[in-house]
A and B are shown apart, each in its own frame.
Chain A
Amino acid sequence: MITCAEAVRQLWAYLDGIVDESHREEIEEHLAFCRRCCGEVEFAEELRDFLAAQAAEDIPDDVRARLTATLDGLEQSR
Chain B
Amino acid sequence: MTRDVFTSDADVRADSFRQLAESQLPRLYALARRLAGDEAEDAVQDCLLKAYRAFGRLEHAAAGPAWLTSILVNTCHDRRRARSRRPEEVGVDDVDDFSLFRRIADEDPFPYSDSLHLDFLHQFGREDVRAVLASIPELYRVPMLLTYVEGYHAKEVARFLDAPLGTILARLHRGRKLFERRLWEYAEEHGLLKEGPRP
Contact = CB atoms under 8 A, between A and B. Distances in A.
A64 B25 contact: yes
Could you say which of B14, B52, B148, B151 has the most chain A C-beta atoms within 10 Å of its C-beta? B148
B57 interface: no
Contact of A51 (B17, B100, B149, B173): B149
Interface in B23-46: 25-27, 29-30, 33, 41, 44-45
A20 to B, nearest CB: 12
Q: For the complex, would chain A's binding face be called helix, strand, loop or mixed by DSSP majority?
A: helix
Interface in B43-87: 44-45, 48-49, 52
Contacts of B169: 13, 18
A40 B99 contact: yes
Interface residues of B, number: 46
Contact of B129 (A9, A18, A40, A54): A54
Interface of A: 5, 8-9, 12-13, 16, 18, 39-40, 43-44, 46-48, 50-52, 54-59, 63-64, 66-68, 70-71, 74-75, 78
22 contacts: A9-B96, A46-B118, A47-B179, A47-B180, A50-B121, A52-B149, A52-B151, A54-B149, A55-B149, A55-B151, A57-B29, A57-B30, A59-B25, A64-B29, A67-B25, A67-B29, A67-B41, A70-B49, A71-B18, A74-B52, A75-B14, A75-B18
Interface of B: 10, 14, 17-18, 21-22, 25-27, 29-30, 33, 41, 44-45, 48-49, 52, 96-97, 99-102, 105, 117-118, 121, 124, 126, 129-130, 133, 144, 147-151, 154, 169, 172-173, 176, 179-180
